[in-house]
Amino acid sequence: MGAKKTKIVRCIGKKGDGSRCTREKEVPIDFEGDWRCWQHPPEDKKKEVNAGGRPSKYDPSIIPKVEEWAKEGLIDYEISKRLGIHTSTLYDWKHKFPEFSEALKKNKSQADFRVENSLFKRANGYRYDEITKERVRVYDEEGNPIGFELVPTKVVTKEVKPNPTSIIFWLKNRQSDKWSDKKEIDLEGNIKGTIKDPAMNELSVEELKKLAEVL
């Protein structure tokens, strides 16, 4: 007897990003109909598959780790790599498990806020205290030396000036209708083009040259 003839069929399920599942299966040549893998069962069969099919890797105990990674600014692809899963599985978890989706969303927003705050400080300039510490000997109540410790001896307030690149980036993204255009300066110092904000038209050539360097 010859070998049974077979064919390859592909799962008709959809991934979390909307693309079609790439899993395939070898079936008898006379197989008819659609095939779904364990991860994309019909809605009315999901409970049966979860109970007796391939177990899901999802475990609520991973949420603290996911929250920390999201706070660090990791994107979905990087988080899925750390979890040892495919990105499509992570999208699927976001759809199926609200607490998982919320952990990612909330902590990514916190990371975005920290970056925005840093950009705001760079654009406006800020001050900070530089503390100098010296190593001094420490004595007990009887005057006996017991060790050393670092003691602040000088505090100097320093100022960081506004950063032109941060200013331009902020304005072009937050007020793009006013700051999206720029003036071009040729080699002879002639100004070409217009800028929508009147304040920019009052800048000197030297000031515009400096701005042109960072645009």
**What is the distance between the alpha carbons of residues 37 and 21, in angstroms, rounded to a whole number?**
9
Summarize pLDDT for 13-59 with one digit per residue, the tens.
888 778 888 888 888 888 888 888 877 777 655 544 444 444 457 88
pLDDT > 50? residue 6: yes
What pLDDT sits at residue 178? 66
Residue 117: CB partners within 8 Å, gap ≥ 6?
Answer: none
Summarize pLDDT for 7-21 with one digit per residue, the tens.
889 988 888 778 888
pTM of model > 0.85 = no
